[in-house]
Amino acid sequence: MNCSSPEIPIFKLSGTISTPDVKLNIGSDSGKDPYATTFLRQRGYGWLLEVEEEDNEESKPLLEELDIDIKDIYYKIRCVLMPMPSLGYNRQVVRDNPDFWGPLAVVLLFSMISIYGQFRVVSWIITIWIFGSLTIFLLARVLGGEVSYGQVLGVIGYSLLPLIVIAPLLLVIGGFEVVSTLVKLFGVFWAAYSAASLLVGDEFKTKKPLLIYPIFLLYIYFLSLYTGV
């Protein structure tokens, strides 16, 4: 008796199973990869998809950031040092286009040359510049002038340049009292004329001496801070 087991048919399976590729592109457009975008947003990580816009603006130079125009300051310095109308300078730009850094630099320079043996005068010169200009401004407004405090502050500051010019000369001729006095008077008149010719306009009419005299006294006091007298 021959017992044989029945043959079981064997089926061979062939083929490939393809799986969808899921790519996680952080920061890519949501329309290109909706699965990753939806997954991250549902989990509260949507901020990962935000891309900061790059600032393509070029950084401005430091002088431009501080509103410092070297050419403008240099032109105003020439206008103050050469106040004669015949030279052809547009001197009204010192009054009509006031700035802060130029006058501040002039005042600090005057303070530096006055510091010899008098260390306390630096802060005092700056104080006199600020409050002396305020006094001239208030007086000009009372007399009917149309000037701003910034304009007065700029003109008074720039007009210290003549005193800076005569300072080295006073060191040389200090032993000659008469000549030294004449040079001091010349410097004060030069500075006062530069300031008064810009601040005292036609609107003052007969009241001009009332404003010119305080300006003259202010520069006499500035010079006394330098000489110590």
> Is pLDDT larger for residue 46 or for residue 12?
46
Helices (H), the chain: 34-42, 62-65, 70-81, 92-96, 101-113, 121-142, 149-158, 161-172, 177-199, 208-227
Q: List the single range of 30-44, 45-59, 168-182 with lowest mean pLDDT.
A: 45-59
Q: Is residue 125 part of a domain?
A: yes
Residue 65 confidence (pLDDT) above 60: yes
85 located within any domain: no
* Average confidence (pLDDT) over 58-75: 77
pLDDT band at 205 (very low <50, low <70, confident <90, very high): low
Task: Identify the residue with better confidence: 51 or 150.
Answer: 150
Residue 6 within a domain:
no
27 within 8 A of 48, measured Cβ to Cβ: yes
Six-digit token pair at 56?
A: 């393509």
Evaluate whether residue 88 is within a structural domain: no
Domains identified in the chain, total number: 1
pTM of the model: 0.65
Is 69 within the bounds of a domain? Answer: no
62 lies in some domain: no
How far apart CA 76 and CA 68 sit, in angstroms, is: 13
Segment 84-100 mean pLDDT: 79
Q: Is residue 82 part of a domain?
A: no
Q: Is residue 199 part of a domain?
A: yes
Q: Show the domain range for 213.
A: 98-227
Categorize the per-residue pLDDT at 123 as very low, low, confident or very high, splitting at 50, 70 and 90: confident
Using only C-alpha atoms, the chain has a radius of gyration, in whole angstroms, of 39
Cβ atoms of 205 and 92 closer than 8 Å = no
